[in-house]
Structure 1
Amino acid sequence: MRASDIQDDLTEVLVTEAEIHAKLDELADRIEADYVGEELLVVGVLRGAVMVMADLVRALDRHVEMDWMAVSSYGAGTKSSGVVKILKDLDTDISGRHVLIVEDIIDSGLTLDWLQRNLVGRGAASVEICALFRKPDAAKVEVDVRYVGFDIPNAFVVGYGLDYAEKYRNLRDVGVLAPHVYS
């Protein structure tokens, strides 16, 4: 789905599909350089990170192992509740492994802060974060994010995996959702 197909639902397009793919290629180059000679477990955070993870790992010129976690702090709302629930845990033992968490967006930072501490507590050799989008003005906690694609305004955004009530994930661009859609 393209932004032009749902233009009445968006107030603006923030990042185009082409810009997203160019940024993922750049992030993949940095990740490859940082993990030379190391095995890497890439952990996607369901559901939002599906698009990011798929395109990021395809941009890597190396073998990686992948796993998924599902955590939630949103429900059907537009703001993070701050209470993290594991809906699907890892299938892989991460003891002694280099783990790269792939996330679609960092809002408050509460979920990723909790997730990073949780994985470190499981004995990972390292836990780094790659997020395609970050909202600096929405941060409630400081999260050390090694790889960030785009800093964006503190607006409710959809597309490229980001949703509102499970809709808009398949939008190829990322845009600001019009208030009339969720009010």
Structure 2
Amino acid sequence: MHKDVDRVLVSREEIHAKCIELGKQITKDYTDRGELPILVGLLNGSVPFMSELMKNIEMDVEIDFMDVSSYEGTQSVGSIRINKDMGTSAAGKSILLVEDIVDTGKTLTEVKRMLANKGAKDVRVVSLLDKPDRRTEDIEADYVGFTIPNEFVIGYGLDYNQKYRNLPYVGILKPEVYEES
């Protein structure tokens, strides 16, 4: 375990098992609707989760990415900044946004609104983590890996000032690390 991690919240093995479960459910749901989704990863945090998840979706999918930011350090700053939009058109497409964590919900609310305005057929969300205690927007993910408490988490794509994304698990960052900043 990394020296800055207080404790592991979700292990590598739990994440792997959950990606298999989510992949099966997503495959079933989209097959039942006769749709092929475009998986749109929200950079940078979604990359490890999206990589593991898409291996377990047993149908053809396209992938794309958006770079959308609302965080500085440990706090959501409230404004959404779009640094990179999708490379393909959303018009008439079924979009499955892949997110590392649903926290306040501000980012997802804005991205879903933007994609709807661009003519997406539907926009659904799959998130590795859900932190409902921090929600300020009325939004829920359609598929959730793990519901977690209101702790500052890192690892498996989640960062603190661009560090710790490569940890193979989700851990709780020791408060003294971010209280020093």
Bin of the TM-score, shorter chain as denominator length: over 0.9
Give ranges in structure 1 of 5+ residues lacking alignment: none
Measured against aligned partners, the alpha-carbon deviations of 1:31-86 in whole angstroms (never above 9, x if no partner) come to 001111312111000000000111111111111000000000013x1011110000
More strand by share: 2
Residues of 1 paired with 2:22 and 2:15: CA distance? 10
Q: TM-score under structure 2 normalisation?
A: 0.95
Q: 2 CA distance for matches of 1:35 and 1:169?
A: 30
What's the CA shift string for 1:86-122, capped at 9, x where partnerless? 0111100010000000000011111111111111111
Counterpart residue number, 1:33? 28
Percent identity reads 47
Q: Who is 1:114 aligned against?
A: 110
User: 2:18 — aligned with what?
Assistant: 23
For residues 140 and 12 of structure 2, the distance between their equivalents in structure 1, rounded to whole angstroms, comes to 26
| Structure 1 SS opposite 2:129 | strand
- Paired position in structure 2 for 1:135: 131
Find the counterpart in structure 1 of residue 175 from structure 2.
179
- Using structure 1 for the length normalisation, give the TM-score: 0.94
Number of residues paired by the alignment? 177
Map 1:42-81 to 2 at 5 A: 42-75=39-72, 77-81=73-77
CA distance in 1, matches of 2:141, 2:166: 25
In the alignment, the residues of structure 2 paired with residue 135 and residue 40 of structure 1 have an alpha-carbon distance, to the nearest angstrom, of 25
SS at match of 2:22: helix
Q: Does 1:99 align with 2:88?
A: no
Please give the secondary structure, in 2, of the residue aligned with 1:22.
helix
d(CA) in 1 for partners of 2:125 and 2:36? Answer: 16
- Give unmatched runs, 5+ long, in structure 2: none
